[in-house]
A and B are shown apart, each in its own frame.
Chain A
Amino acid sequence: MRTYKSILLLASLLLASCSKFLDHPVENLAPETTIDYTNLSLMYQPVSGAYKAVTRGGFAFWVPTFMKTSQSDDIIPETGYSEVNTLINNGVSGSAIASFWALDNMWVNYYAPIITCNGALAELAKFGANIPSGDAADQQQLLRYQAEVRCLAAIGHFYLCRSWGNIPILGPSSIYPSDLDTVHITPMANVRQYIMDEANFCIANLEAVAPNKATHVGGLTKYTALMLKAKTALDIAGSDNGSPYWDTVLDCTNQIMNSGQFSLYPDYYELFKIPGKLCDESILEFQYSDFGSTTGNIVTSGEDATGSQWANLFLFQAPNNSWGGLINGPGWLVPSDNAYNFLVARGDAQRIKLTFERCGVNGNPGTYAVTPDGDTVSGNVAGAKYFNGKAYTPTSESNGTSGYYGSNNNVRVWRYAETLLMNAEALIRKGQNGDAPLNMVRARVGLAPLTNATLQQLMDERRAELICEWWGERFNDLVRTDQAATVFSGFVKGESEFWPIPTTEIALDKNLQ
């Protein structure tokens, strides 16, 4: 029996003392990091992280881009996704597209950065707790940083609300899994009011300079927030000339115009190319870089070198060019004949030159065309005649051939030209004369000034100025002026204005039903 006792004794000894062998950190995972919240020089870091979330992947990801752009009659989607090519391009919404993956992708690419922004706010609060109460400069800086992050989140809500109408608001608390369970759908009117309130906070606390003069060059400023407020007010006012929100539009756009910070970029053709990056016309721009190198890291709206650069906003719009090289892609989002004819009828030569780059002769395979910047572009078997010049970065402006179509170019979101047009619309809607701001926009592209411009002339100018851009203005304008059902064959008033909440999201959260 002694033997058994010995064994048992030993077993218990072994059990008692060996667990140190197991106590080591898990290999090759992110280590437990501590952030020094007392070091206020690090305070911008969560803000920079929020910009990353919004601009890489995020709002300028390729999928939301083709979803929103395809809702316009300026574009033939040619995406390879029949849901887009036939349903969305014809204005069809509702259950027919509810389970389309790209719908969910857009939802996710807008909401996920909002969650990151809310995480950044929580981080800023931790820095804030270390700012002495008498330190007004740092308090002010904290408010400015908070405003930058909140403005990014509000822009996300703005576009979500435009596409879906009634949506959940993800407020600052939505950074833990348990918080997401409590989220519910908010009526569209309340969402818009929320965006206006956020914009007011941002207007009060952001830098009063143009983005290209901001401390962090290209970051959001007071004027970005004013533009957000103006656009939200415009959506609320819709087509109702009596709406008091036209005053808000007018007030906000006036503030931007009177700031002296902005002007229209004179060379319209270069506006969307490298020279036009963050020019004085820029109110909101997403920034990217190839760091001036022919190899190595290239940051695009797809992702960085470790992610999928293919997924950037530009590449999938590149023409299907058998000549190859950098100017080559799947040839999606082809500018439409409808849009072309619209500009031709207006004699809008400069806008045609910028937007309608040609694929060979009438798109015929075996033929070639040369762009104003000297790139040779062939026709293609799909017979696409054009590719979008607003997404075109010439080879001559690119750093080497190992890059991507559009690498090192920024994504233009909001321009001063639109501010002027909104100002003009508010004036006209209120029965005043909108010629001055409208004619500034016309003059830049060499069009003769108008006198006593009508609302229709203004709306045509909006379409022409923003033609083939990616932020859904054309569709939104058609909807708010009640012309959508005329233009789109599948549009049903009261149904097609907004997309259904993606079935995937409903499967994940019953509150979204």
Chain B
Amino acid sequence: MEKLRLLLDVYGNRFIFLLILLCAGIGTYATALPPTVVKGRITDTAGNALAGATILVKGTRTGTSTNENGEFSIQTPKAAGVLVISYTGFTSREVSFSGDATLDIRLSAADNRQSDIVVVGYGTQKKGDLTAPITSVNMDDVDKRTTATPMDALQGSVPGVQVISNGSPGTSPEVRIRGIGSFNNENPLYVVDGMFVTDIGFLNSDDIADISVLKDASGAAIYGVEAANGVVLITTKKGRLNMKTRVTYNGYVGIQVPTHKVKMANGQQFTNYALQWQDAADSGSIRQSANLYGGAGLAPTTSTDWYKQILRSSAPITNQAIDVQGGSDKIAYTLGGNYLYQGGIMQYQNSFQRYNIRFSMDVRAFSWLKLGITTTVSNSVTFYPNNAAWETAFTASPLFPVYDSANNPSAFPIKFANSALIGRTDANAVAQARYNYNQYKQIQVLPGVYGELYLWHNRITLRSQLSEYYTSGLATNYAQQVNLGPGSTNTTPSMLTSSQDRNTNYILDNLVTYRDGLGRHHWSVLLGQSSRSDRYRVTTVQAQNVPAQQQFWYVTNYTRDPSYYSDNGTYNTSLSYFTRGTYDFDNKYLLTATFRKDGSSKYQQKWGDFPSLGVGWVISKEDFLKNVPGLDFLKLRGSWGKLGNDGVTPNAGYAIVNSGNAYSGIFGSTGSQNGQYVPGYQVNNFYSNVSWEVVTEWDGGIDFELLKHRLKGSADYYNRATNGAALNESFPFGAPAIYGNFADMTNKGFDFALSWGDRIGKLGYLISANASTLKNTVTKIGSISNIMGGVFGWAAEYPNIIQPGLPINSFYGYKTAGIYQTQQEIDADPVAVAANKSVPGSVQPGFFKYADLNHNGVRDAGDETNLGSYLPKVTYGFNISVSYRQFDFSVAAQGVAGNKILNLNRGEFQKATSSINLDQKFMEHLWTGPGSTNMYPSAYALSQPWNKEDGGGSFFVESGAYLRIQNIQLGYNFKLGTNNPVGLRVFVTADRPFIFTKYSGFTPEISGIGYDNQVYPVTASYSFGVKATF
């Protein structure tokens, strides 16, 4: 509350002052006018209000436009006359009036969708007037998807937007809009009813009335320093004035099942393979398995399928939503609630459930004043899985059982088997999944209040909105006391980690919108000011020896450790001023210009300017194209602008003095005394002044509608250049890295969308497709030539590289050029000869052959090269929907191409001192003799350094391309009852039922930078649902 008071103190006074001054200004202007007043409401033929329609008194320069309810009021010096009413996409009408009058005017559509209202930043625009490639998502299609989070439902439906799902219950997908322009933060900005959030996983698809995706600078620059990764605008459902009460129920129940399962090698196959490692550790472990668990000698009979052990055959998913909307002449409201449960396909505790309550009310207090409140409350409980079990399931030997009470008597509380008994270090995947309790409870509240003032016959709207985003989370991680064996001393005490976090973010927006027109000229001006404060805090405590019952899960009474305490937080404020002007002549020549000045407390250089300009030319309105048969609409667009990304670590920009125990030496550690700290400090003079990253984006596009609006499409070329991307620049000698705005990169590509829809009698159909291409290139990384990286723990074995000229984080390593088939082949290859000379026998038949890229006759660092990028070159989706009488049927598919995945599950042998398991496909294709394969190495090869020292390289980098049938739905619509009939729809849905990919792992959907390791697979789900409206 203190924050709120502060905001109001600082801004409240000034804002009230603004209102008073504006009212006074309008007041004096208004009293000078003569008295004839014509009021009215303009709707389409169905009675839906048309906002922004222009009304002009014929023969004068007097005009106005309608408000969002389609209402207008115009004062004219003439006692009688004719009003010309026009609205893009609708046929203009002339209506005469005489004296004060109230008119109800209906316009009929000019048979296209260019009149649709699209939500843009801080306002709305007609689709036909847009100069930016803004995609308004079809919410009907979104509703068909049975996903736990709304962004998952957008997968494959918006060109230029890549969505990477995660199978872990309740986990939001990764979303990238037009590539990656930052090393820091690639998430788009989500704006929910005016409030900035980083993720919309707390919303249910049913809460959402509208989603707009702002992809280019002309659309997004109004969000300034937040907009560099694109903006997703979400409007929650709202009632309308004079709306009959409508109750909607929407629900489904379904099951999720694993797809594209990887078959692991069985015990027999593994034994054959492991023996070929020709290593005492391997044969010893195999003998031991036969001794303990059955079999004889080197032929054990145990064959544990670890995947099967941790995988459920199915898991439930259900979503139940109810929504009530209505409105009187003064008040409109909506009230909704929903419940979602998603189980996990991993065994044991992992699931997601969420309850949402949503309420909004808009009050038309006076004809010139509207007030409203909106509140969304989301309450969720997530149990996170232990994803390490996936990795173990892949790599663990099948030669030991899940449970083993006979040989592992120390195991407690469950008699899990321990691989140490057969001399291995594999974890027990089932124990990993079972001994995992990782709960996150979160409440998220999104309240907002606004007031809107209409002045000068609705030409001017003043709006003030205060929004809050409050979240409170409690993470509880409890590791019970266990002994995994084999020794009795291996007991791990129980450990409770409890973490509380909260976000308290506020935004206060003040907006003035002026919309007017004269003759065929139309213009609008938006002036806005916004202030923001974001506060985050997280406190973590840990204790040991906490009893297993949940009632005792508090840290206080147990063995606390001071070093297990952490308290962290951030507090940032920002202040922004922005303006947008739009102008069009006859809806033919379009111009949009925006400018935002953003100030942030995070950096020394506080202020940044973000301009944009967009132009459009509706060529189809030109005389020379007017009568071209089949050409209904054709528009050319172009835009330029600058966007910012402040997802950069805040920076204080001074030399750091590090002091305290962590920077103090130990002295006096002798045979009789314990060493003690002597206070010390270190100075770090390596720093820079960091600021946000700036993206400059060009976009050129074309929109068209042909053949009686049946064929529609658009195409865009985009070019986004990030300047001053912040990254850690390393220095030689292990000197501290400097975080600064050193790098540049570009993202270029095309977005396409095309659809064909028609109706033949009772058969309606629509085929649509979209695709986008991406070329990401790092163009500069400061003064250094490259940065090697990778995933934690494997950066040495499977590195990636950031290097000018390549896509960000490209896989890097040796390129395999087949397999040595014979000794003659080895003797003929100078690279192999050189290796065998320094360590005899290091290259043998069945081993990888590496391309000698620098032609120096040895395998060395100069042979390492770019092995491809995890970023898809193409993402695409298509959709076919058919309706016949009361039935409808749709199929949606999506896919990516041109990306690479590093199969780290397969690649883990690199660090292993003895054999680890492999998938059956790998195992069955291993090289067994000359001519058997020129792709897979021999089993023995995998044990040998030649194939292990950063080895394999390109062999483990696979194509990540896939095509997936994303959604199939069959629905039947009917009505029940005659008086106030209930509209009913029943539907069966298959989500993600089929996937087509050559990738050898479980799922080609890999979040992050493309390393497949510990990835929770995405499931298919099959469900049945009902939607009822009355």
Nearest neighbor of A363 in chain B, beta-carbon distance: B280
Minimal beta-carbon separation of A371 from chain B (angstroms): 16
Q: Could you say which of A2, A3, A277, A383 has the most chain B C-beta atoms within 10 Å of its C-beta?
A: A3
When the two chains form their complex, are residues A19 and B606 in contact, meaning their CB atoms are under 8 A apart? yes
**Within the complex, what minimum Cβ distance (angstroms) separates A492 from chain B?**
8
- Measured in the bound complex, the distance between the Cα atoms of B577 and A15 in whole Å is 8
Pick from B150-158, B344-352, B472-480, B658-666 the stretch touching chain A. Answer: B658-666
Q: Does A345 contact B (CB under 8 A)?
A: no
A108–B733 touching, CB < 8 Å: yes
- Determine whether the beta carbon of B949 is less than 8 Å from that of A83: yes
Determine if B284 and A365 form an interchain contact, defined as CB atoms under 8 angstroms apart: yes
Nearest-CB distance from A439 to chain B (Å)? Answer: 26
Would you call A112 and B281 a contact (CB within 8 A)?
no
Rounded to whole angstroms, the CA-CA distance of A112 and B735 in the bound complex is 5
Within 8 Å by CB of B784, from A279, A323, A508, lies: A508
**Number of A residues, CB within 8 Å of B:** 119
Q: Given the interface contacts A6-B25, A112-B734, does A297 sit within 8 Å of B661 by beta carbon?
A: yes
- Name the distance in Å between A467's Cβ and chain B's nearest Cβ: 23
Contact A52 B665 (CB under 8 A): yes
A325 contacts across to B, CB distance below 8 A: 487, 489-490
Asked if B663 and A52 make an inter-chain contact with CB atoms under 8 angstroms apart, the answer reads: yes
Contact of A287 among B14, B675, B733, B735 (CB under 8 A): B675
On chain A, the residues within 8 Å of B674 by CB distance are 289-292, 408
Question: Does A129 count as interface, using CB distance less than 8 angstroms?
Answer: no
> What residue in chain A is nearest B607 (Cβ atoms)?
A19
* Cβ contact within 8 Å between B839 and A87: yes
- Is B948 among interface residues, defined by CB-CB distance under 8 A? yes
Which residue of B285, B662, B860 is within 8 Å of A304 (Cβ)? B662
Q: Are B666 and A289 in contact (CB under 8 A)?
A: yes
- A96 x B683 contact (CB < 8 A): no
> Is B10 a contact partner of A115 (Cβ separation < 8 A)?
no
Q: Mark B206-249, 1 if CB is under 8 A from A, else 0.
A: 00000000000000000000000000000000000000000000
In contact, A21 and B531 (Cβ under 8 angstroms): yes
A471 close to chain B: CB less than 8 A: no
B558-566, B879-887, B930-938: which lies at the interface: B558-566
Q: Taking the complex as formed, is A296 at the interface, i.e. its CB lies under 8 A from any CB of chain B?
A: yes
Known: A95-B861, A401-B489. A48 touches B735 (CB 8 A): no
What 1/0 mask marks residues of chain B from 655 to 685 whose CB sits below 8 Å from any chain A CB? 0111101111111111100111111111111
- Interface: A175 (CB within 8 A): yes
Could you give, for residues 576-613 of chain B, a 1 whenever the CB lies within 8 Å of some chain A CB and a 0 otherwise? 01000000000000000000010111100010000000
Which A residues touch B826, using CB under 8 A?
none
User: Nearest chain A CB to B272's CB is how many angstroms away?
Assistant: 19
Q: Is the CB of A218 within 8 A of B606?
A: no
The smallest C-beta distance from A188 to any residue of chain B, in angstroms, reads 18
Per the 8 Å Cβ criterion, residues 1-50 of A in contact with B are 2-3, 6-7, 10-11, 13-15, 18-19, 21-30, 32-33, 35, 44-50
Contact (A107, B734) CB under 8 Å given A14-B577, A82-B945: yes
Query: Interface stretch among B15-23, B41-49, B353-361, B639-647?
Result: B15-23
| Minimum distance in angstroms from B155 CB to a CB of chain A | 36
Contact of B280 among A30, A275, A382 (CB under 8 A): A382
Q: Which of B18, B25, B684, B786 contacts A2 (CB 8 A)?
A: B25
Q: Which residue from chain A places its CB closest to the CB of B488 in the assembled complex?
A: A324
Known A-B contacts A11-B527, A287-B669, A323-B489; the reply to A383 vs B731 at CB < 8 A is no
Cα distance A80–B910 in the bound complex, in angstroms: 8
* Known contacts A46-B683, A278-B669, A33 near B650 by CB under 8 Å: no
Q: Which residue of A lies closest to B786 (CB)?
A: A507
- The verdict on A287 contacting B667 (CB below 8 Å), with A32-B654, A35-B657, A365-B288 known, is yes
Instruction: Judge whether B796 is part of the interface by a CB distance below 8 angstroms.
Output: yes
- Interfacial chain B residues near A277, Cβ < 8 Å: 669-671
Q: Is B978 in the interface zone, CB < 8 Å from A?
A: no
Which of B375-383, B567-575, B700-708 lies on the face that meets chain A?
Answer: B567-575
Residues of B within 8 Å of A, CB-based: how many?
115
The residues in A between 313 and 350 inclusive whose CB is less than 8 angstroms from any CB of B are 322-325
* B494: interface (CB < 8 Å): no
Within 8 A of B (CB), among A193-231: 212, 216-219
Known: A22-B606, A120-B682. A296 touches B563 (CB 8 A): yes
User: Which residues of chain A have C-beta atoms less than 8 A from B666's C-beta?
Assistant: 51-52, 55, 287-289, 299
Q: Which one of B651, B662, B795 contacts A306 once the chains associate, using CB atoms below 8 Å?
A: B662
Q: Of A19, A83, A112, A278, which one neighbours B599 at CB under 8 angstroms? A: A19
| B 5-52 contacts with A by CB, 8 A | 10-11, 14, 17-18, 21-22, 25-26, 28-29
Most buried by A among B676, B682, B839, B912: B682
Known A87-B839, A278-B670, A490-B838; contact A324-B490, beta-carbon cutoff 8 A:
yes
CA distance A402 to B682 in the complex (A): 30
Give, as a whole number of angstroms, the nearest-CB distance from B221 to chain A. 18
Could you tell me the distance between the alpha carbons of A220 and B758 in the complex, rounded to whole angstroms?
88
| A297 x B686 contact (CB < 8 A) | no
* Residues of B793-851 whose CB lies within 8 A of A: 795-796, 835, 838-840, 842
Do residues A49 and B489 form an inter-chain contact, with CB atoms below 8 A? no
CA distance A18 to B651 in the complex (A): 21
A320's closest neighbor in chain B, by CB?
Answer: B425
Contact between chains at A296 and B733 (CB < 8 Å): no
A165 interface residue (CB < 8 Å to B):
no
With A115-B734, A289-B676, A504-B788 in contact, do A6 and B281 touch (Cβ < 8 Å)? no
Bitwise interface map of B from 846 to 872 toward A, beta carbon under 8 Å scored 1, else 0: 000000000000111110100000000
Contact with B along A92-127 (1 / 0, CB 8 A): 100110111110000111011011100110110000
Q: Which residue of the partner chain A has the closest CB to B24?
A: A6
With A26-B651, A51-B680 in contact, do A170 and B733 touch (Cβ < 8 Å)? yes
A72 at the interface (CB under 8 A from B): no
Q: Which residues of B contact A112 (CB under 8 A)?
A: 733-735
The smallest C-beta distance from B980 to any residue of chain A, in angstroms, reads 49
Tell me if A177 counts as interface (CB < 8 A to partner B). yes
Contact between A49 and B680, CB atoms less than 8 A apart:
yes
A111 contacts B738, C-beta separation under 8 Å: no
Q: Does the CB pair B680–A26 fall under 8 Å?
A: no
Q: Which residue of A lies closest to B944 (CB)?
A: A82
Query: Is the pair A47, B571 in contact by a Cβ cutoff of 8 Å?
Result: no
B residues within 8 A CB of A504?
788
CB-based contact A122/B838 at 8 Å:
no
Which 4 residue pairs across A and B have the least CB separation, nearest first? Answer: A48-B680, A381-B423, A51-B665, A108-B734
Q: Show 30 A/B contacts (Cβ-Cβ < 8 Å), sorted by A.
A: A3-B26, A18-B531, A26-B601, A27-B570, A27-B572, A27-B650, A35-B681, A46-B681, A46-B683, A48-B678, A52-B662, A52-B665, A55-B665, A95-B860, A102-B796, A107-B734, A174-B733, A216-B668, A219-B667, A278-B669, A279-B671, A287-B668, A289-B676, A291-B674, A305-B563, A323-B487, A324-B487, A505-B732, A507-B786, A512-B732
Report B's interface with A, CB cutoff 8 A.
10-11, 14, 17-18, 21-22, 25-26, 28-29, 280-281, 284-285, 288, 420-421, 423-424, 456, 460, 486-487, 489-490, 512, 527, 529, 531, 559, 561-563, 568-575, 577, 597, 599-602, 606, 650-652, 654, 656-659, 661-671, 674-686, 730-735, 738, 783-786, 788, 795-796, 835, 838-840, 842, 858-862, 864, 911-914, 944-945, 948-950
Residues of A within 8 A of B (CB): 2-3, 6-7, 10-11, 13-15, 18-19, 21-30, 32-33, 35, 44-53, 55, 78, 80, 82-83, 85-87, 90, 92, 95-96, 98-102, 107-109, 111-112, 114-116, 119-120, 122-123, 168, 170, 174-177, 180-181, 183, 212, 216-219, 274-279, 287-292, 295-297, 299, 304-306, 322-325, 365, 380-383, 401, 408, 410, 489-490, 492, 503-505, 507-510, 512
Contacts A26-B652, A507-B788 known; list 17 others, CB within 8 Å.
A27-B650, A28-B570, A48-B667, A83-B949, A95-B862, A100-B796, A109-B734, A115-B735, A177-B686, A217-B670, A287-B669, A291-B675, A299-B666, A325-B490, A401-B489, A408-B669, A507-B785
